Amino acid sequence: MSHDDDIHSPSGRVREPEMKRTGCGFRYAEDELSAGVDFSAAAKLLKNDESGITIREATPEDATAVAELVNSAYRGESSRAGWTTEADVLGGQRTDTNMVREFMESSFFRLAFDGDTLVGTMQIEALDETRAELGMLAVMPLRQGKGIGGRLVRDAEQFAMDTLNRPVLQVRVLEHREELISYYKRCGFQPTGETGPFPDSPRFGVPKVEGLRFTVLRKHLGQV
């Protein structure tokens, strides 16, 4: 297909380019970016997401809503409506209001909203001088698979670089959750081979299988 075909609709009007799904959300190919296409609509979509999602930093007043969304996305029957769940490996709670408030003192929570509705959460914590960790990444089960998670991951990367000045972002994922490990790989995270134990406390959940362990993946965002 020539660029002329690509840019102009049969009516002669400049047509918006189609978004391409290339993993972890939407991206444009390099050749499209240099093809002279009118990208104003696309730029708007990329800034404010294809689904009108906005992201803001959480306040302590958000803690209960954050805990409810995280629990519903990770565990229990509600989480099975999403495409990935840990309901088969862990029971009990993933978090609670007090834990979220406690974590808010030493880390940042950023929240995705559709209008007034909370649809996604994440926690970002500076670990040392170069690394930040992304955790509690959760999207409302019925809203998953539509790019909100990818949007949050990209926001986390930007926040780690621009606000925390940490050029490495890491995630810890339960080894059992292969589909989730694949997801993070598509988002550009690389397995490090490092592992760690699942905390032995009902505050974080009750294991349904033996020997639960986290595996660590990292993404380099800039010069270390």
Taking the C-alpha atoms of residue 50 and residue 44, their distance in angstroms, rounded to an integer, is: 9
Binding of residue 90 to ligand COA (CB under 6 A): no
Stretch that binds ligand COA, among 12-20, 58-66, 141-149, 196-204 (CB under 6 A): 141-149
Nearer to ligand COA by Cβ, of 81 and 161: the residue is 81
Binding of residue 146 to ligand COA (CB under 6 A): yes
193 exposed, middle or buried (CB, 10 Å; 0-12, 13-18, 19+)?
exposed
Interface pick for ligand COA out of 18, 38, 77, 179 (rule CB under 6 A): 179
Instruction: Give the nearest distance from C-beta 196 to ligand COA in angstroms.
Output: 13
Binding of residue 173 to ligand COA (CB under 6 A): yes
Contact 107, 222 (CB under 8 A): no
Binding of residue 17 to ligand COA (CB under 6 A): no
Residues from 184 through 213 that contact ligand COA (CB under 6 A):
186
Binding of residue 131 to ligand COA (CB under 6 A): no
Interface pick for ligand COA out of 111, 137, 168, 212 (rule CB under 6 A): 137
**Side-chain-side CA neighbours of residue 93 (13 Å):** 13
The tokens describing 172, both together, are 């810890």
Interface pick for ligand COA out of 53, 139, 160, 221 (rule CB under 6 A): 139
- The residues facing 26 across adjacent strands are 21
5: helix, coil or strand? Answer: helix
Q: Could you give the string, one character per residue 153-172, with x where binding to ligand COA holds by CB under 6 A and - elsewhere?
A: ------------------x-
Distances (CA, A) of 136 to 21, 38, 173, 196: 24, 37, 11, 17
Taking the C-alpha atoms of residue 152 and residue 17, their distance in angstroms, rounded to an integer, is: 23
The tokens describing 145, both together, are 């698979």
Nearer to ligand COA by Cβ, of 186 and 220: the residue is 186
Nearer to ligand COA by Cβ, of 71 and 104: the residue is 71
Instruction: Give the nearest distance from C-beta 177 to ligand COA in angstroms.
Output: 7
Complete edge-to-edge strand list for the sheet that includes strand 108-114: 54-57, 108-114, 117-126, 131-139, 168-174, 213-220, 190-197
Instruction: Give the nearest distance from C-beta 214 to ligand COA in angstroms.
Output: 9
Query: Using H for helix, E for strand and C for coil, what is the string for 44-67?
Result: HHHHHCCCCCEEEECCHHHHHHHH
Binding site for ligand COA (CB under 6 A): 21, 23-25, 73-74, 82-84, 137-139, 144-150, 171, 173, 179-180, 183, 186
